[in-house]
């Protein structure tokens, strides 16, 4: 599938899809979206890139093995879940929110970090599965 | 900080799996982390147990959402006991597996997945929400599926397919039952369900839902017509994996049955009769199945099924004495079944085979190990005063006073058939003259291992045997725990109060 059209398009689509995935991640608290869908869109971006440019190029672009994103994401989600216990003596997974909204992003709370953890885990799992299958194929 | 104590066992396991995933390629680190984590887990579980013992049922409302709406984690004496037993089995199995499983299997993430399995088990024991229970069941199922296939031998994959198909069927039925229950009541919180199900007038529909739950949990617990996946799959993975499966996985099904049928569906005549018939048939067929097997681990697999019957019988008799007996048996069974599968792994490492007929002369070769194994085997049979004896007394006296002669017969039959099987194993494996087996090249025989590895394999067996001895000789204390659990299960008002009246101390 190394056509020049796809290759040129994928260079532009990769950043656009990644930004779109982050948009989906951020809007997910009250509206459809969130870490899971955002993570899937981000992995689609990398899968498309690997279709156009070959798997080794995508791996070089990622630098780290995608499987390594799983423990990082889990750790992030874990920390955001236990933060209320450690810092505020509130039950596990209670949402902690900043009082003042930030421009563009809105109010930031521990739920956002949980979603970012989910995002990273989904990217890690999906890319590990797809890369492993396409390597052995 | 102690208010959150209920979920510390969960958080610890999750934390351990994440740390283990970070050291994915460093197997020697993983061994150390897993064993040290196991010790910490036991300490946390003892803390939880003693706290619950002194202060009664504790709850945590996850996310600070009040009780019938959010997910509640509840630790009563039953949950705390099982969390403690999970911690004990978890520690011994992580020590045993770090010595007995070859590195080629360990490096595909054995330890992280193992701790995810423990996370799922702890979660299932601690949750107070029926849908959340389903989620923990899924976590257990997915992790156990990875553990059972790790290594990818042909027999393993065959066993795994059977294991997975039937268990996913069980999960689906369980999920359907939850959906029906939610449709009937509009709630998922178990304490809330307990109140709402009692008010439903259409009892036929409630019974049908209860039967759906019975089938779902029955597949997990491996009771009579639904157990065929168990003996076909438990002998295929390495014995350390079988140990944690045999010790804890079917017991989650039993736990769920005991919980749901005492809290949500307070048993009526139809349910009790169904459960009693199932218990009787499980006792008989499991025992007969074990009698004809030649593979040591298949024998133990059938014994698991047979002995599940005792606990189901205790539930079916539905008196305080009977349920206390079932709880006592559950405590004894988790320890002893974990131990049995580790013993089968040890014998496999010594002899290089699982076939009972081709073994022999173990007593002449290694009398100390044989003596150790003898204690565990006698505890299983229930020679007084060892641990298997006491719960059977409660169960028998309960079935005598209920004048249920079928169950009396079933319990006695299962006990005698266990005795016959153990005698057969003893005669063939230990006392028979040694059979010269062909030496297997590249097989890691026990005598070839280093002293550290040897002690990592023997140590867990010694420890669990000591625990069994304690259960036998300290039966009074275990009986106290079991009676208190039975009392809490049958008088479920304090459970409901602990969950639903927690709203005032939220803020």
**pLDDT, tens digit, 9 for 90 and up, residues B337-375:** 999 999 999 999 888 888 888 888 888 888 899 999 999
Give the model's confidence band at B502: pLDDT under 50 very low, under 70 low, under 90 confident, else very high: low
Distance in angstroms (rounded) separating the CA atoms of residues B249 and B334 = 10
| Nearest residue on chain A to B63, alpha-carbon basis | A94
**Residue B4 confidence (pLDDT) above 80:** yes
A79 Cβ under 8 Å from any chain B Cβ: no
- Mind telling me how many Å the CA of B400 is from chain A's nearest CA? 47
| Residues of B in Cβ contact (< 8 Å) with A132 | none
- The bridge status of strand B58-61 relative to strand B72-75 is antiparallel
> Which long-range contacts link A16-22 to residues 24+ away (Cβ below 8 Å)?
A17/A41, A17/A42, A17/A44, A17/A45, A17/A48, A18/A42, A18/A45, A21/A45, A21/A119
Distance in angstroms (rounded) separating the CA atoms of residues B45 and B216 = 29
Give the model's confidence band at B504: pLDDT under 50 very low, under 70 low, under 90 confident, else very high: very low
Of A23-32, B388-397, B443-452, highest mean pLDDT: B388-397
Distance in angstroms (rounded) separating the CA atoms of residues B504 and A85 = 19
Is B11 in Cβ contact with A71 (below 8 Å)? no
| Residues of A in Cβ contact (< 8 Å) with B14 | 74, 78
**Residue B118 confidence (pLDDT) above 90:** yes
Query: Which residues in chain A show pLDDT less than 70?
Result: 1-2
| Nearest residue on chain B to A111, alpha-carbon basis | B63
Is B24 in Cβ contact with A91 (below 8 Å)? no
A78 Cβ under 8 Å from any chain B Cβ: yes
Its sign, for the CA torsion B95, B96, B100, B105, is: negative
- Give the model confidence (pLDDT) of B144-183 as tens digits: 999 999 888 888 899 899 999 999 999 999 999 999 999 9
Instruction: Quote the pLDDT of residue B507.
Output: 37
Share the mean pLDDT of chain B.
Answer: 90
Residues β-bridged to residue B61: B72
Distance in angstroms (rounded) separating the CA atoms of residues B251 and B151 = 26
**Residue B1 confidence (pLDDT) above 80:** no
Which of these, B222, B216, B211, lies nearest to B162 by C-alpha position?
B222
Percentage of residues in chain B with pLDDT exceeding 90?
64
- Mind telling me how many Å the CA of A74 is from chain B's nearest CA? 7
Percentage of residues in chain B with pLDDT exceeding 70?
99
Contact B166, B226 (CB under 8 A): yes
A111 Cβ under 8 Å from any chain B Cβ: no
Distance in angstroms (rounded) separating the CA atoms of residues A114 and B123 = 19
- Give the model confidence (pLDDT) of B52-87 as tens digits: 999 989 998 888 888 888 899 999 999 999 999 999
Is A95 in Cβ contact with B1 (below 8 Å)? no
Contact B137, B220 (CB under 8 A): yes
Task: Give the ipTM of the model, two decimals please.
Answer: 0.91
- Mean predicted confidence (pLDDT) in B370-383: 90
Rg of the Cα atoms in chain A: 17
**Residue B447 confidence (pLDDT) above 50:** yes
Give the model's confidence band at B506: pLDDT under 50 very low, under 70 low, under 90 confident, else very high: very low
Count A/B contacts: CB-CB distance under 8 Å: 42
Number of domains in chain A: 1
The answer for residues whose C-beta is within 8 angstroms of residue B337's C-beta and 6 or more apart is B243, B246, B247, B300, B303, B304, B307
Is B1 in Cβ contact with A85 (below 8 Å)? yes
Could you say which DSSP state residue B73 is in? Answer: E
DSSP notation for B282-296: HHHHHHHHHHH--BH
pTM of the model: 0.93
DSSP notation for B370-404: HHHHHHHHHHHHT-TTSTTHHHHHHHHHHHHHTT-
A85 Cβ under 8 Å from any chain B Cβ: yes
Its sign, for the CA torsion B200, B190, A88, A70, is: negative
| Residues of A in Cβ contact (< 8 Å) with B24 | 67, 71
Residues β-bridged to residue A72: none
Which of these, B74, B53, B107, lies nearest to B192 by C-alpha position?
B74
Instruction: Quote the pLDDT of residue A4.
Output: 87
Instruction: Quote the pLDDT of residue B385.
Output: 84
The boundaries of the domain holding residue A121 are 4-136
């Amino acid at each position: 599938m190394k056509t020049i059209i796809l290759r040129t398009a994928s260079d532009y689509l990769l950043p656009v899809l990644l930004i779109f995935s982050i948009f989906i991640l951020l809007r997910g608290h009250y509206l459809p979206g969130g870490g899971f869908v955002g993570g899937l869109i981000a992995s689609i971006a990398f899968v498309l890139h690997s279709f156009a440019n070959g798997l080794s190029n995508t791996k070089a672009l990622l630098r780290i093995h995608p499987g390594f994103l799983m423990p990082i994401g889990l750790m992030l989600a874990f920390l955001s879940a236990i933060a209320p216990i450690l810092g505020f003596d509130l039950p596990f997974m209670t949402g902690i929110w900043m009082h003042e909204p930030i421009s563009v992003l809105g109010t930031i709370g521990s739920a956002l970090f949980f979603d970012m953890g989910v995002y990273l885990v989904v990217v890690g799992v999906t890319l590990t599965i797809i890369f492993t299958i396409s390597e052995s194929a | 900080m102690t208010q959150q104590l209920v979920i510390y066992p969960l958080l610890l396991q999750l934390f351990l799996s994440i740390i283990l995933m970070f050291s994915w390629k460093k197997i020697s680190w993983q061994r150390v982390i897993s064993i040290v984590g196991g010790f910490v887990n036991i300490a946390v579980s003892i803390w939880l147990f003693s706290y619950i013992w002194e202060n009664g049922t504790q709850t945590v409302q996850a996310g600070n959402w009040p009780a019938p709406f959010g997910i509640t984690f509840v630790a009563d004496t039953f949950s705390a006991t099982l969390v403690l037993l999970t911690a004990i089995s978890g520690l011994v199995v992580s020590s045993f597996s770090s010595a007995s499983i070859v590195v080629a299997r360990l490096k595909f993430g054995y330890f992280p997945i193992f701790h995810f399995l423990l996370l799922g088990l702890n979660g299932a024991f601690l949750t107070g929400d029926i849908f959340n229970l389903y989620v923990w069941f899924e976590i257990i199922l997915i992790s156990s599926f990875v553990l059972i296939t790790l290594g990818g031998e042909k027999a393993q994959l065959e066993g795994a397919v059977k294991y997975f198909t039937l268990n996913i069927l069980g999960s689906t039925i369980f999920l359907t039952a939850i959906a029906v229950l939610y449709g009937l009541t509009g709630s998922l919180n178990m304490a809330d369900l307990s109140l709402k199900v009692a008010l439903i007038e259409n009892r036929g529909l409630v019974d049908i839902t209860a039967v759906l739950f019975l089938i779902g949990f029955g597949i997990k617990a491996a009771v009579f017509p639904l157990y065929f996946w168990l003996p076909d799959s438990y002998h295929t993975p390495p014995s350390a994996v079988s140990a944690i499966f045999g010790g804890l996985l079917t017991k989650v099904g039993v736990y769920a049955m005991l919980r749901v049928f005492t809290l949500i569906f307070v048993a009526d005549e139809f349910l009790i009769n169904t459960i009693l018939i199932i218990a009787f048939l499980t006792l008989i067929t499991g025992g007969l199945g074990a009698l004809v097997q030649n593979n040591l681990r298949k024998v133990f697999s059938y014994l698991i099924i047979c002995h599940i019957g005792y606990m189901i019988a205790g539930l079916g008799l539905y008196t305080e004495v009977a349920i206390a007996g079932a709880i006592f048996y559950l405590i004894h069974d988790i320890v002893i079944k974990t131990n049995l599968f580790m013993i089968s792994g040890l014998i496999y490492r010594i002899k290089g085979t699982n076939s009972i007929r081709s073994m022999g002369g173990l007593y002449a070769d290694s009398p100390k190990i044989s003596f150790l194994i003898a204690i565990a085997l006698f505890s299983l049979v229930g020679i007084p005063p060892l641990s298997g004896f006491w719960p059977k007394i409660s169960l028998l006296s309960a079935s005598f006073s209920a004048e249920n002669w079928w169950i009396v017969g079933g319990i006695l039959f299962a006990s005698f058939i266990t005795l016959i099987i153990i005698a057969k194993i003893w005669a063939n494996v230990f006392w028979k003259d040694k059979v010269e087996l062909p030496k297997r090249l590249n097989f890691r025989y026990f005598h070839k291992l280093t002293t550290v590895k040897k002690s990592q394999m023997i140590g867990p067996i010694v420890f669990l045997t000591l625990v069994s001895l304690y259960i036998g000789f300290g039966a009074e204390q275990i009986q106290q725990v079991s009676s208190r659990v039975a009392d809490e299960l049958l008088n479920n008002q304090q459970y409901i109060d602990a969950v639903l009246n927690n709203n005032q101390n939220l803020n």
